[in-house]
Amino acid sequence: MNIVLFPSLVRYALAATCLVLMVATVLAVRRGKGGLGAALGVLSLLSGGALAAEALVALTVRLAAPGATEFNEYRWVMLAPWGRLGLALGGGAVIAIVALSWRASRGAPAWRRATMIGLRAGAAVGALVVFLEPAVELRQVAREPNRIAVLIDDSKSMALSESTTGPTRIERARQLLTASGGALAAWEANHKVDYYTFSETISPTSLAALASNQAQGKATLFRKALELVRARYEGRDLAGVVMISDGVSTGGFTEDSGDGAMRDFLRSLETRVHTVWAARKGLKDIAVAKVMADEFAFVRTVVRIDAVIRTTGLPARQVPVTLSTDGQPLRQKMVDFPGGDHDVTVTFEVTPPRVGRYVYEVSVPIAPNEAVTSNNTRSFVIRVIRDKIRVLQVAGQPGWDVRSLRQMLKSNSNVDLISFFILRTQDDISLVPNDEMSLIPFPTRELFEHQLPSFDLIILQDFEYLPYGIGDYLENIRSYVEGGGGLVMLGGAASFTSGGYYGTPVAAALPVELYGPFDSGPVVDTQKFSPQLTEAGQMHPVTSLRYSADDNVAAWKTLPQLEGVNLVASVKPEGTVLAQHPRLRTKAGKPMPVIIAAEYGKGRSLAVTTDTLWKWGFGAAARPGDNGRQYTKFWENAMSWLIQDPVLRNLHVDSDAVEYGPNAPVRVTVRLLGRDYQPLAGGVVSLTVRRGADPSSAEEVSAAKLAVGEDGTVVHELGGLAPGVYRIEGHAAIAGRQVDANDIFLVREGGSELDRPVGDAATLESIAKASGGQALGAVDTLPSDLAFDPPRIVRVDRRTDVELWSRPGLLLLIIGLLGLEWLLRQRSGYL
Amino acid sequence: MTRRRLLGGGLAAAGLLLTRPAHALGPSSKFRFGQLKLGPASAPRPNALRRLGWEIEKRTSIDVDLEPANVAPTADTLHETPFLYLAGEREIELPSAAGIEALRRFLTFGGFLLIDSAEGSTDGAFDGSVRKLMAAVFPTTGSTKGLEIIPSDHVVYKSFYLLDKPAGRLSIAPAMEGVIRDGRLVAAYIANDLGGAWSRDDFGNYEFRCEPGGERQRELAFRMGVNLVMYALCLDYKADQVHVPFIMKRRRWKPDDGALTPTPTPPSPPKPPTNKP
């Protein structure tokens, strides 16, 4: 066992320094610079003395421990109890002795002075050794090999290939390990190599098992993989990590955590991570990378949807980006993409027409030779709610019915009302300058062309359209109702037949047939009357002033009389008469309808053929104890029904979430209410589940007949659903009448692994850099000299201590040096 | 154009040419003044409301029944005429407790009362009895006020004409007083003898001169009458009109993203049945 005090380089440096200083000393002395010569001489001797000391130590150990060759390690120990303080004091004493010697030898010839100082310094160092009692501990030790963890990414993106003929990334990783047999063998000399695959988690593997790995992991979680590796080797000696991946990260390793946080994490691993990039350039892909839309939106209000379209490796092109729902395209934009890799944000705006859930889909067409096609579409759910009921009240003239309705609507905090009243007609006298009047033009075009779809409900009240030139817009009103809007026409001298609506598009949306121009007879009746509820009206949501039918009929009988009705020819087949005139008959002999409801297209319409409903409010309030509440109740009912308020549905079908992961359980709650809106215990509901964005082509995946419990509800569980859009349709019969309900939910693809398939070398480089490892990049073989931490765990088989301070030779050396120094001093005349 | 649309358009055109107009669905559909009778005192300007009604009929779209209805506070017909007019030139008899309660219900649930002083004084006997009446109907308690000055920016001054003060036969009261409940003007009191300005004899001549403004003042008195009726029928409609453009803008429904609306894909035709052996 050879003891070395200095590395080879230092040793050579000391020898060279000794020689150079010696020559410099000679030159300084010849030039008469005695002081400088002495100093250089002292330094030269100190350099040489250091080398001599090392040789002496080695010699001493060799002599003291003849079997030292069996030892393979040594270390210095200090037997004196002085510690670092003693070492510092001793060192200071040596320096002081040298300094004093320098001062005391002033005037002596340079060579002699240097020699005296050198001798005294040597003796002082010898004394210091005795003082500190140093020893060399010789040990025979053996080291345990530590571990190298090789992590191979087996997420789905590793199954991609950059070209149609080239290897996949996982194949490239396999080839790399196969070609690196020599390097792996070299690593095995001092380390043991463990192999793992990683995606959502890590799994031990082997080179043999890797050969059949198909790379199907649903995510690439770098941080989690490294954390798991670190945890796996907790308390064990980890030499380093080699990570082979395409760098495609899910879970936001580089996005969510800032650079600082990532560096802190990687440093906390306390091991270096070398990275190898398994991907190559050249991948072609176009993807809907991200969709940003609010989860909630308001009905009939524009909702903004931002979609990030990402192109990779494709030439410059124009791409149609389409927003769809129910399998039908809603909006489309042609977007120009430059060649190469680009992200472009495309903004769509849509207006949900009704309350409910909507599944939208943003899609781009598949490009030639595209690596991943599953990321060309992205679906998402928007829940559409109502902020306020938006009502447009258009009245042909001010009147008490108009005023009462406006006052009621204005006092309802859930209603956002816009009224337009015709205050002056073309027939009225106008002798007053316009600037002395507060009248404004009737904004027909703005209302009936531009703003119509923004309303939930349109009320036409004694409004004759002809004088205001809105005949061209009546079709808009009809299509508005057909598309899901609500329409009320109230009676009056300018309503229904007498309003000229016969044959107009608005008449098509009404639930009654009007008298034509060639029909004879009156079109209005002016007598007082009390409307009678029909059988349908007794329980209909619009006319239900009380919960039970009997109470409701009784409540209607207490209502003040009305006065005058518009006469109609008949009720349309789809119309439901809720209240009728007690005496008047249609030409067909049926009771003259007063309140009639109907569904038209996706919307609803209500006809009330009188203009004196205000008597149910203000008129009723003449009676002590009656606050006219029935008027408000009637209109609240009517509004809820007209806007198709979900509260008024008899059948409810609701999934417990709007989005699910693959194979996640789906709980569907079915609630069935009777005509009186009380739970319909024992009622049977047919439930059908279909899969597909387009309802016309959705395939049935499940069907069941469910009996609801005492509380009118039953929960139906679905499971094992593949990704896609699902529609639940419920059907039931209540007193012979069919009621329906539906819901929609989305089962997502598992993870976002292929959202961004292009290989990302930068992520791997940042991991390697922050952990102190090496980013090897796109290599074909692993280097055998890759830096790993040496094994730290040792086993000591034998040990012995060699004390240097207690050697007799050391004492003789000190005495000899001091004697020589004394002799020189004497001969120099310093004693 | 499809044949159906052509036929529909033709029918609609025929309907327009042969529209069968009606004139109100009944008496309740028309606007009618209620002349409030308190005690034996007769109305000082018996022709005033008929003349105002005639003007309203001619100047506005309101369908007016020209004959006012005489009503007492406790009459069953009180709520058939939501606009009440009370005029006087001397002290009036306050109604009974039941009458006061009936008036309170009438005004609280949507009625409107216009009080018009014809006595030519702002502190006469009629004025005093009006204040007693209003104090009885709407007692001042805590933050609820009784009669108060109605500011000139109130919507009643712009409900049809743009006005700044309540002119009548006289111009002795610079402002209108009124009672406001739940943000609504339920009673208005003007001491400028509006009825005196409106009133004509059977030959169509105005019965009283308007002082000091003459015929211009009379015109303003009619305008005030129109505005009061219009306010009673439309409430704060005119105040809302100011906000309509902002409401419309806030409720943007029309997509403005520059995208095209593609033609929906027609449903795929059903597959022909396959014959299996």
Specify if A248 maps to a domain.
yes
Please name the residue ranges forming H helices in A334-415.
400-411
State whether A152 and A262 are in the same domain: yes
pLDDT classification of A254: cutoffs 50, 70, 90:
low
Report which secondary-structure segment, H or E, holds A25: helix A8-30
Specify if A786 maps to a domain.
no
Q: Which of A44-48, A234-238, A527-531 has the highest mean pLDDT?
A: A527-531
Is the CB of B37 inside 8 Å of chain A's CB atoms?
Answer: no
Contact, B238 vs A441, CB < 8 A?
no
Q: What percent of chain A lies above the pLDDT cut of 90? A: 44
Q: Give the residue from A277, A255, A194, A268 showing the smallest Cα distance to A227.
A: A268
The count of domains in chain A is 5
Residue located via tokens 């000679």: A26
Is the CB of B23 inside 8 Å of chain A's CB atoms?
Answer: yes
B115-152 tens-digit pLDDT: 999 999 888 999 999 999 999 999 887 777 889 999 99
Cβ burial, residue B213 (10 Å; 0-12/13-18/19+): middle
Contact, A758 vs A248, CB < 8 A?
yes
Which residues on B lie below 8 Å from A565 (Cβ)? 25
Which residues on B lie below 8 Å from A516 (Cβ)? 11, 14-15
Q: Could you give the CA distance from residue A422 to residue A432 in angstroms, rounded to a whole number?
A: 17
Contact, A124 vs A808, CB < 8 A?
no
Using the predicted structure, report yes or no on whether residue B221 has a pLDDT greater than 60.
Answer: yes
Q: Could you give the CA distance from residue A717 to residue A724 in angstroms, rounded to a whole number?
A: 17
pLDDT classification of A676: cutoffs 50, 70, 90:
low
Q: Are strands A356-363 and A377-385 parallel, antiparallel or unpaired?
A: antiparallel
pLDDT classification of B269: cutoffs 50, 70, 90:
very low
Mean pLDDT computed over A219-228: 90
Specify if A15 maps to a domain.
yes
A456-470 tens-digit pLDDT: 999 999 998 887 778
Domain-wise residue ranges, chain B: 28-241
Q: What is the CATH number of the domain that holds A718?
A: 2.60.40.1930
Please tell me the predicted confidence (pLDDT) of residue B20: 59
Tokens matching residue A222:
């770098």
Please tell me the predicted confidence (pLDDT) of residue B128: 94
Identity of the residue numbered A185: A
Please tell me the predicted confidence (pLDDT) of residue A520: 81
Q: How many CB atoms lie within 10 A of CB A792?
A: 11
Which residues on A lie below 8 Å from B31 (Cβ)? 398-400
Please tell me the predicted confidence (pLDDT) of residue B243: 65
Average pLDDT, chain B: 84
Q: Could you give the CA distance from residue A418 to residue B243 in angstroms, rounded to a whole number?
A: 9
Q: Could you give the CA distance from residue A401 to residue A422 in angstroms, rounded to a whole number?
A: 14
Is the CB of B233 inside 8 Å of chain A's CB atoms?
Answer: yes
Please tell me the predicted confidence (pLDDT) of residue A755: 76
pLDDT classification of B264: cutoffs 50, 70, 90:
low
B2-60 tens-digit pLDDT: 444 444 455 445 444 455 566 677 777 889 999 999 877 778 899 999 999 999 999 99
Mean pLDDT computed over A189-201: 91
Q: What is the radius of gyration, based on Cα positions, of chain A? A: 48
Q: What is the CATH number of the domain that holds A571?
A: 3.40.50.880
Please tell me the predicted confidence (pLDDT) of residue A492: 92
pLDDT classification of A648: cutoffs 50, 70, 90:
confident
Q: In what order do the strands lie in the sheet with A389-395?
A: A415-421, A389-395, A457-461, A486-490, A603-608, A591-600, A575-585, A532-533
Please tell me the predicted confidence (pLDDT) of residue B273: 37
Specify if A583 maps to a domain.
yes
Mean pLDDT computed over A85-93: 91
Residue located via tokens 């030039």: A31
> Inter-chain contact A454–B251, Cβ cutoff 8 Å?
yes
Q: Could you give the CA distance from residue A362 to residue A378 in angstroms, rounded to a whole number?
A: 5
Write the DSSP string, A219-233.
---HHHHHHHHHHHT
Specify if A455 maps to a domain.
yes
**Residue A449 DSSP code:** I
Mean pLDDT computed over B192-202: 93
pLDDT classification of A675: cutoffs 50, 70, 90:
low
Q: In what order do the strands lie in the sheet with A713-718?
A: A651-655, A666-672, A713-718
A123-148 tens-digit pLDDT: 898 888 888 888 888 888 777 888 99
Q: How many CB atoms lie within 10 A of CB B132?
A: 13
> Inter-chain contact B27–A563, Cβ cutoff 8 Å?
yes
Using the predicted structure, report yes or no on whether residue A393 has a pLDDT greater than 70.
Answer: yes
Q: What is the CATH number of the domain that holds A164?
A: 3.40.50.410
Domain that holds residue A530: 389-642
**Interface-testing mutation among A400, A415, A565, A609, with chain B (most B C-beta atoms within 10 A):** A400
State whether A466 and A521 are in the same domain: yes
Is the CB of A456 inside 8 Å of chain B's CB atoms?
Answer: no
Tokens matching residue B107:
């005004």
Q: Could you give the CA distance from residue A300 to residue A303 in angstroms, rounded to a whole number?
A: 9
| Partner B, chain A 156-185, Cβ-Cβ below 8 Å | none
> Inter-chain contact A398–B16, Cβ cutoff 8 Å?
no
pLDDT classification of A253: cutoffs 50, 70, 90:
low
Q: Could you give the CA distance from residue B210 to residue A267 in angstroms, rounded to a whole number?
A: 97
Q: Could you give the CA distance from residue A192 to residue B132 in angstroms, rounded to a whole number?
A: 107
A407-424 tens-digit pLDDT: 999 999 889 898 889 898
State whether A236 and A269 are in the same domain: yes
SS3 breakdown of chain B: % helix, strand, coil, rounded to 5?
35, 15, 45
Q: Are strands A389-395 and A415-421 parallel, antiparallel or unpaired?
A: parallel
Q: Are strands A457-461 and A486-490 parallel, antiparallel or unpaired?
A: parallel
HSE, CB side, 13 Å, CA atoms: give it for residue B164: 1
pLDDT classification of A252: cutoffs 50, 70, 90:
low
State whether A694 and A617 are in the same domain: no
State whether A120 and A220 are in the same domain: no
Q: Could you give the CA distance from residue B112 to residue B104 in angstroms, rounded to a whole number?
A: 11
Min mean pLDDT across A546-560, A692-706, B242-256 is at B242-256
Mean pLDDT computed over A310-324: 91
Q: What is the CATH number of the domain that holds A315?
A: 2.60.40.10
Mean pLDDT computed over A577-598: 94
B28-241 CATH choice from 1.20.870.10, 3.40.50.12140, 3.10.20.90, 3.30.1490.190 = 3.40.50.12140
State whether A43 and A161 are in the same domain: no
pLDDT classification of A256: cutoffs 50, 70, 90:
very low
Please give the sequence-ordered ranges of beta strands (E in DSSP) within A466-620, or none if there are none. Answer: 486-490, 512-513, 524-529, 532-533, 562-566, 570-571, 575-585, 591-600, 603-608
Q: What percent of chain A lies above the pLDDT cut of 70? A: 97
Burial B96-130 (b: 16+ CB within 10 A, else e): eeebbbbbbbbbbbbbbbbbbbbbbeeebebbebb
Q: Give the residue from A813, A764, A819, A775 showing the smallest Cα distance to A226.
A: A764
Specify if A787 maps to a domain.
no
Using the predicted structure, report yes or no on whether residue A721 has a pLDDT greater than 70.
Answer: yes
Å from B37 to nearest chain A CA?
A: 18
State whether A135 and A41 are in the same domain: yes
Please name the residue ranges forming H helices in A105-180.
110-132, 169-179
Å from B9 to nearest chain A CA?
A: 8
Contact, A681 vs A710, CB < 8 A?
yes
State whether A369 and A290 are in the same domain: yes
Looking at A385, A401, A425, the residue that finishes a domain is: A385
Which residues on B lie below 8 Å from A489 (Cβ)? none
Please tell me the predicted confidence (pLDDT) of residue B145: 83
Please name the residue ranges forming H helices in A270-424.
400-411
pLDDT classification of A57: cutoffs 50, 70, 90:
confident
pLDDT classification of A654: cutoffs 50, 70, 90:
very high
Residue from the list B29, B109, B110 with its beta carbon closest to the beta carbon of A564: B29
Using the predicted structure, report yes or no on whether residue A387 has a pLDDT greater than 50.
Answer: yes
Using the predicted structure, report yes or no on whether residue A447 has a pLDDT greater than 60.
Answer: yes
State whether A112 and A183 are in the same domain: no
Please tell me the predicted confidence (pLDDT) of residue B265: 54
Burial B252-276 (b: 16+ CB within 10 A, else e): ebebebebeeeeeeeeeeeeeeeee
Residue located via tokens 């001491």: B191
Query: What ipTM does this complex have?
Result: 0.86
Average pLDDT, chain A: 88
Mean pLDDT computed over A112-131: 88
| Higher pLDDT, residue A19 or B204 | A19
Residue from the list A399, A430, A624 with its beta carbon closest to the beta carbon of B29: A399
Contact, A327 vs A744, CB < 8 A?
no
